[in-house]
Amino acid sequence: MRRISILLIALFGIVLFNACESKKETAAPAAESKPKVEAPEYETGRLAFQKLYVSARAFAGDVQPYRLQSIYTADSPAAEGKSAIWSAQFASASRRAIKSYTWSGVSGENMPERGVSHGTEDTYNPSNSSTKVFDTVFLKIDSDKAFTVAQEHGGAALLKKDPKQPVFFVLEWGGKNRLVWHVVYGESRNNAKLAIAVDASSAAFIEKEH
């Protein structure tokens, strides 16, 4: 009788073990954690430029900028002079080379890598007017102020007609010993509906380019 009881207990244990294992196998898998989606960041030109300039200094100690440009994205608050993507080009006389750097505050398909990234090195010709470097001390006015000036000279009327009108910013040496913000209303400078030049040192209106 005692032997039968021991066998029954052993058999019960085996059945219980198998039942537990079966429950583990049929249990629904835990929900996979979704990757964290970072909120987009937007910067004015001057703040984005500072980030790009720090990285460019690693390329060469004597680098100087010759252009800063925002890349238009539909969600960027241009009215605040901000963009999710800024690109700057720098030149080094000692290396006789130029290199571009991009800051991106967004992630996604067809978007630059988030943070600061750089392009390939190319040959620099100091006599080329399209790569005329400028001294950063001239950059006193940020892109938000440049936008305000542009709005006062035709931009506001244009955006009232078409609130979805693309707007982007270009900073470069304009001659006459001044640095210029170009506030461009359009998808490119060639087909712009309006482009306003603003002095990047004083915020003075210079001219209507288109």
Please tell me what DSSP assigns to residue 188: S
Q: How far is CA 184 from CA 74, 147, 171, 180, 200, in A?
A: 15, 9, 11, 12, 15
Q: How are beta strands 97-104 and 115-118 bridged, if at all? A: antiparallel
> CA 144: distance to chain centroid?
16
| For range 89-108, the mean pLDDT | 95
pLDDT-derived band at 175 (thresholds 50, 70, 90) equals: confident
Q: What would the pLDDT profile of 181-196 be if each residue is shown by its tens digit?
A: 999 999 999 999 999 9
Dmax (CA) for the chain in angstroms is: 112
Q: Where in the chain are the domains? A: 43-208
CA 52 – CA 88 distance, rounded (Å) = 7
Q: What would the pLDDT profile of 120-173 be if each residue is shown by its tens digit?
A: 999 999 989 899 999 999 999 999 999 999 999 999 999 999 999 999 999 999
- Tokens standing for 11? 């058999």
Q: What is the pTM of this model?
A: 0.81
